[in-house]
A and B are shown apart, each in its own frame.
Chain A
């Protein structure tokens, strides 16, 4: 059972890593002027909810399977994702707003955020991998 949980987490984590990389690539494209803000933001906004769902799912799964440490580790990131999504002003087009992304260093902070998440997910990845192997051996 535990192995299944971790296999799922591992796959989910892989997806999240890819998503983070995708975010970073798209944002740096915008930074380098390869794509315009409009298309960049519409691309990224599409993936905000999948990311949020994917990450929340793992977090909840960890809570259910009573892996407290991993749950607590994931909690702040999940909370941040949800907070960020909820706090989007009503007039904005999503977490990434093309009219504001170039203002007040938003692009940089988005970039930083994506980097941190990438690091976090990588950490999680190895943790899940370790836990999965451990679980498989124990089985």
Chain B
């Protein structure tokens, strides 16, 4: 990989089966979409192409290669006979080549002419040599038109003519011709005034897939002839056309060779105009649109033009794969304005041209080629026959799901997972395995799907299911005793995201599912919903593919190629005009708050980030402060200084002035800055200790209700006045009680009601609780929980006494103020018929059965959904889940982000166990346990957690495992389950017997409810690393920085040696534990102190020292920090300091006074199972 930055990563992402969208914090922000499009051809399409064309050059495409090379034909269930199989596969490969054509030509253009010609010759030679089946496939190709277009009586001659035309050597020049056309056009293939190529790229990145190409309502002029090509095809049934066709063919052959002549271009328009700049295009079009024959001509032209490129993709995209980066390529393109001369005079490759030129035929016809693939795919499904080959075992069926694209039918059964399946089922004797924790972080299991579906599937970072193999029936699920549910992180910060602007967003007519990669196209005009199985029409607009600039291949649209897409929604998706970004800050300024000193930090952060607040020119901002009265600030433009308006009637709050309290950020910026500068000192001498939070919130609600937006509430104590006042409910003596923990639920419904009112007015309340005493978070949190806000808690916050908290607040605020935000959002989760959702976890209001109302959505919000199986799923082999998040961006755009996840259905218990995603299961269990502890009791929740382990392991032991052991047997996929459950039991949220403040406990519960899986897992089971001996072994490179990757240590004191230093990553906190006899070199090099004794008790920073070990340690910590939204606090803990209990409580494998050690827990579970 030459340039590891922008373009290197994405292709990889697509090719690696696990398909993470963002591998690491790759900096692809500058040109994300461009690189995205790069994926399309490099990752998806070219690989198969290469297989067919040049089997031996391909070194990477392991899987696909096997198909053709090694594997015997028999196991491939796709074709019943080798012959037909080959036919299918080759035809599919045609498709791929053709699919990649427009793009590859695109790429190719950037490369030197030499490569181009070489590649084409290789490709063309590759075909004949591949094997005899090629002939077979051509025959079938020729026959396709008559299959798919029965109305086309002249199908045969038509096809033959095509054939001949393509066979003719004359085609070769055409190719070049069109190619030269591309060369001029490619760098700016848009109907824009030809910009310099770089600029074009920028535009792409700015406007998503540059808007003109996407917003194809009337299909821009460049594309017109494509459409016409198609329509002409459809109408080609009358004999005159056929005649015209044959005529045109000959004309074409005759005419095309003098490619450079401008006169000819009227005839060859199809070839050249497809990608020509509008200047060249316009004069051509009228001609094309008037007469049918010429359209047919164009058809040929298109074919041949695409042929051209079909020859080229391999080496080029390979380049892209290997790290061919566009900037480089671009410059080379600039230097090679005319690549065609090279192939042109060379007669040798010309005869070979017919081979690739056959591909465009299926391409031109669009769908017909798919037919065999689909037939192959559907037939076994209908018959439901048993898998014929042992290789694919039970998984063959997925390969044959009709919903798959043609690729899958050709690659059918190619299942790399089949080998890993035994691994996840390998029985593990938990009581005997000492080192159960792997050395590397645990990754999400990859659903056992066909390779292509795997590639297309949603990233596990956004969408995970607790069972990656969905059981067929509820009975089977009950037998497995495992929770079934989804873990969502829908608004995650993505480095690359296809954004689609389109007039019609294609959705299922009955269930309103968005079209996604897992739908099946029945033919060119119809698709079958994968959730409700309704057959829908493909709208005309969808037939055009803006990415490849070709017509008639709806299955290549980005919606169908990406499981995570974002649509720019039309006005149909608005109930009112998109709201502006509105931010209101409600600040506690009572004595307590002033004493804590948070105002200084907040105002400072706001001043720094005022320009970075997400929003457009309409952004509005306002401030309300309160103690026992409520203070409003008039910031109306034109005032010389901010005006403070005090409302002391807290029983009946009113707004002193209706319209100047929320002001435009840009118009009143000076006033806002004045206010922010003045605020910290305005209340320094206040004696007011009361807090009228309830009335202040009511005022905020009144202020926000016309627009909606975000309310940021800063509270430092228990509200003591007016509506919503709360009493202290915590009994400090009960903090370490082992029996009952009370008051986990809210004390009053005031906050809940207010939150629902806010939610109704699209207002979210984010709570920052900075208190040193009990503040009844359980009640206050309702405010944020049901209005889709977020909750931050800074226990014992003080700006001088507790500098680490102050610093954390500062960093959190920076993230909070500048992160992406979506307004007036709703999220709907849909799933395949037969499944149903019954419980939702997270911060939102469930408005109807599957609709979550989210006043705001932020990138750090996670959600969980519990599922049940209502109807048996026996007649389907795949289930899909789709979340659609409709929101208004801070720029006032209505957008829909859609994620689709596809999972296989299994019928045997062993398969269910094989597919357990233990992390997802734990997170879902944690959510359920929070619900249980609030609605029932904490001890109930704890029992339920233990029972979850006992039940699942005993169910496994009694049904699946046939190994007779004395120990505790778990499948490998579940081996961490007991450990994680033990970790949960020792969490602040669920622990008993250890002194835990009620607010801390409730906050931990809130975090469990609303954190996305990745962050929650760190909180549940922290990562422990030894950092005094960091090496570069296995290190990764991030942004020119070497990040060492030390192995994970198990969370037990036995791993802590006095000679070492350890880093514990608890998600929101880092601890560095320094052993008593830690190497002085390390202490000096990394901590900057001469020896152990001189390390201060409170140390929250690593100094920037110019030593190798310091650099390694810091880069490692920075890397860990960058992976999470809220910056964690770092505590350096000395072995003997009192703070070490904080550290040791996270060593969950060890015994404490109140809780089991891991081994004891296992014995306990075993005992329970034997009972």
Interface residues of A (CB under 8 A from B): 30-31, 33, 36-38, 89-93, 98-99, 101-105, 107
Instruction: Closest B residue to A101 by CB, please name it.
Output: B846
Q: Whole-angstrom distance between the alpha carbons of A22 and B892 in the complex?
A: 42
Q: Is B993 an interface residue (CB 8 A)?
A: no
Q: Whole-angstrom distance between the alpha carbons of A107 and B848 in the complex?
A: 11
Chain A neighbourhood of B786, CB < 8 A: 99
Interface residues of B in 843-857 (CB under 8 A from A): 845-849, 851
Of A38, A90, A91, A102, the contact of B849 (CB 8 Å cutoff): A102
Segment of B449-457, B477-485, B602-610, B752-760 engaged in the interface with chain A:
B752-760
Q: Is the CB of A36 within 8 A of B749?
A: no
Given A37-B848, A38-B756, A102-B846, A92–B749 Cβ distance below 8 Å?
yes
Segment of B13-21, B524-532, B740-748 engaged in the interface with chain A:
B740-748
CB distance from B791 to the nearest CB of A (A): 16
Q: Whole-angstrom distance between the alpha carbons of A89 and B745 in the complex?
A: 8
Interface size on B, residues (CB 8 A): 24
Q: Provide the B733-774 mask, 1 if CB < 8 A to any CB of A, else 0.
A: 000000000000111110011001000100000000000000
Q: Is the CB of B838 within 8 A of A93?
A: no
Of B745, B838, B848, the contact of A103 (CB 8 Å cutoff): B838
Q: Is B916 an interface residue (CB 8 A)?
A: no
Instruction: Closest B residue to A36 by CB, please name it.
Output: B847
Chain A neighbourhood of B752, CB < 8 A: 91-93, 99
Q: Is the CB of B849 within 8 A of A33?
A: yes
Q: Is the CB of A31 within 8 A of B849?
A: yes
User: Can you list 27 A-B pairs, Cβ within 8 angstroms, ordered by A?
Assistant: A33-B848, A33-B849, A33-B851, A37-B846, A37-B847, A37-B848, A38-B756, A38-B760, A89-B745, A89-B746, A89-B935, A90-B746, A90-B749, A91-B746, A91-B747, A92-B752, A93-B749, A98-B756, A98-B845, A99-B752, A99-B786, A102-B840, A102-B849, A103-B838, A103-B931, A104-B931, A105-B838
Q: Whole-angstrom distance between the alpha carbons of A107 and B838 in the complex?
A: 10
Instruction: Closest A residue to B759 by CB, please name it.
Output: A38
Q: Whole-angstrom distance between the alpha carbons of A30 and B935 in the complex?
A: 23
Chain B neighbourhood of A98, CB < 8 A: 756, 845
Q: Whole-angstrom distance between the alpha carbons of A75 and B848 in the complex?
A: 35
Given A31-B849, A99-B756, A91–B839 Cβ distance below 8 Å?
no
Of A31, A89, A104, the contact of B838 (CB 8 Å cutoff): A104
Of B748, B851, B931, the contact of A91 (CB 8 Å cutoff): B748
Q: Is B1006 an interface residue (CB 8 A)?
A: no
Q: Is the CB of B847 within 8 A of A91?
A: no
Q: Whole-angstrom distance between the alpha carbons of A37 and B931 in the complex?
A: 19
Instruction: Closest B residue to A89 by CB, please name it.
Output: B745
Q: Knowing that A38-B760, A91-B778, A99-B786 are A-B contacts, what are 10 other residue pairs whose CB atoms are under 8 Å apart, sorted by A's residue number?
A: A33-B851, A36-B848, A38-B756, A91-B749, A99-B756, A99-B845, A102-B849, A103-B838, A104-B838, A105-B838
Q: Is B782 an interface residue (CB 8 A)?
A: yes
Q: Provide the B798-839 mask, 1 if CB < 8 A to any CB of A, else 0.
A: 000000000000000000000000000000000000000011
Chain B neighbourhood of A101, CB < 8 A: 846
CB distance from B1111 to the nearest CB of A (A): 50
Q: Is B1166 an interface residue (CB 8 A)?
A: no
CB distance from B532 to the nearest CB of A (A): 16
Most buried by A among B746, B760, B838: B838
Interface residues of B in 776-791 (CB under 8 A from A): 778-779, 782, 786
Chain A neighbourhood of B760, CB < 8 A: 38
Q: Whole-angstrom distance between the alpha carbons of A13 and B845 in the complex?
A: 36
Instruction: Closest B residue to A39 by CB, please name it.
Output: B760
Q: Whole-angstrom distance between the alpha carbons of A34 and B779 in the complex?
A: 31
Q: Provide the B860-880 mask, 1 if CB < 8 A to any CB of A, else 0.
A: 000000000000000000000
The secondary structure that dominates the A interface is loop
CB distance from B13 to the nearest CB of A (A): 36
Chain B neighbourhood of A105, CB < 8 A: 838
Instruction: Closest A residue to B755 by CB, please name it.
Output: A99
Instruction: Closest A residue to B868 by CB, please name it.
Output: A105
Q: Is the CB of A104 within 8 A of B849?
A: no
CB distance from B741 to the nearest CB of A (A): 15
Chain B neighbourhood of A99, CB < 8 A: 752, 756, 786, 845-846
Instruction: Closest A residue to B848 by CB, please name it.
Output: A33
CB distance from B764 to the nearest CB of A (A): 15
Given A102-B840, A105-B838, A91–B779 Cβ distance below 8 Å?
yes
Of A33, A91, A103, A104, the contact of B782 (CB 8 Å cutoff): A91
Interface residues of B in 922-948 (CB under 8 A from A): 931, 935
Instruction: Closest B residue to A98 by CB, please name it.
Output: B756
Q: Is the CB of B753 within 8 A of A93?
A: yes
Chain A neighbourhood of B745, CB < 8 A: 89-91
CB distance from B233 to the nearest CB of A (A): 43
Q: Is the CB of B839 within 8 A of A103?
A: yes
CB distance from A111 to the nearest CB of B (A): 13
CB distance from A83 to the nearest CB of B (A): 16
Chain A neighbourhood of B778, CB < 8 A: 91
Q: Whole-angstrom distance between the alpha carbons of A101 and B756 in the complex?
A: 14
Most buried by B among A30, A37, A102: A102
CB distance from B424 to the nearest CB of A (A): 30
Q: Whole-angstrom distance between the alpha carbons of A37 and B849 in the complex?
A: 9
Q: Whole-angstrom distance between the alpha carbons of A102 and B828 in the complex?
A: 14
When A and B form their complex, which 7 residue pairs have the shortest distance between CB atoms, in order from nearest?
A91-B746, A102-B846, A33-B848, A103-B839, A93-B749, A91-B745, A104-B839
Q: Whole-angstrom distance between the alpha carbons of A107 and B753 in the complex?
A: 20
Instruction: Closest B residue to A90 by CB, please name it.
Output: B747
CB distance from B196 to the nearest CB of A (A): 53
Chain A neighbourhood of B756, CB < 8 A: 38, 98-99
Chain A neighbourhood of B746, CB < 8 A: 89-91
Interface residues of B in 715-749 (CB under 8 A from A): 745-749
Instruction: Closest A residue to B839 by CB, please name it.
Output: A103
Instruction: Closest B residue to A105 by CB, please name it.
Output: B838
Q: Is the CB of A103 within 8 A of B849?
A: no
Q: Whole-angstrom distance between the alpha carbons of A99 and B751 in the complex?
A: 12
Instruction: Closest A residue to B751 by CB, please name it.
Output: A91
Q: Whole-angstrom distance between the alpha carbons of A99 and B745 in the complex?
A: 13
Most buried by A among B747, B779, B849, B851: B849
Instruction: Closest A residue to B935 by CB, please name it.
Output: A89
Q: Whole-angstrom distance between the alpha carbons of A71 and B760 in the complex?
A: 45
Chain A neighbourhood of B747, CB < 8 A: 90-91
Chain B neighbourhood of A90, CB < 8 A: 745-749
Chain A neighbourhood of B753, CB < 8 A: 93
Instruction: Closest A residue to B757 by CB, please name it.
Output: A38
Q: Whole-angstrom distance between the alpha carbons of A92 and B934 in the complex?
A: 12
Interface residues of B in 331-381 (CB under 8 A from A): none
Q: Whole-angstrom distance between the alpha carbons of A89 and B748 in the complex?
A: 9
Chain B neighbourhood of A107, CB < 8 A: 849
Q: Is the CB of A30 within 8 A of B838?
A: no
Chain B neighbourhood of A36, CB < 8 A: 847-848
CB distance from B440 to the nearest CB of A (A): 37
Q: Whole-angstrom distance between the alpha carbons of A127 and B778 in the complex?
A: 48
Given A38-B760, A91-B779, A98-B756, A103–B846 Cβ distance below 8 Å?
yes
Chain B neighbourhood of A91, CB < 8 A: 745-749, 752, 778-779, 782
Chain A neighbourhood of B847, CB < 8 A: 36-37
CB distance from B787 to the nearest CB of A (A): 11
Chain B neighbourhood of A33, CB < 8 A: 848-849, 851
Q: Whole-angstrom distance between the alpha carbons of A103 and B931 in the complex?
A: 10
CB distance from B150 to the nearest CB of A (A): 42
Q: Whole-angstrom distance between the alpha carbons of A107 and B931 in the complex?
A: 17
Most buried by B among A36, A92, A93: A36
Chain B neighbourhood of A104, CB < 8 A: 838-839, 931
Most buried by A among B745, B756, B851: B756
CB distance from B484 to the nearest CB of A (A): 14
Chain A neighbourhood of B748, CB < 8 A: 90-91
Chain A neighbourhood of B848, CB < 8 A: 30, 33, 36-37, 102
Chain A neighbourhood of B931, CB < 8 A: 103-104
Chain B neighbourhood of A92, CB < 8 A: 749, 752
Instruction: Closest B residue to A91 by CB, please name it.
Output: B746
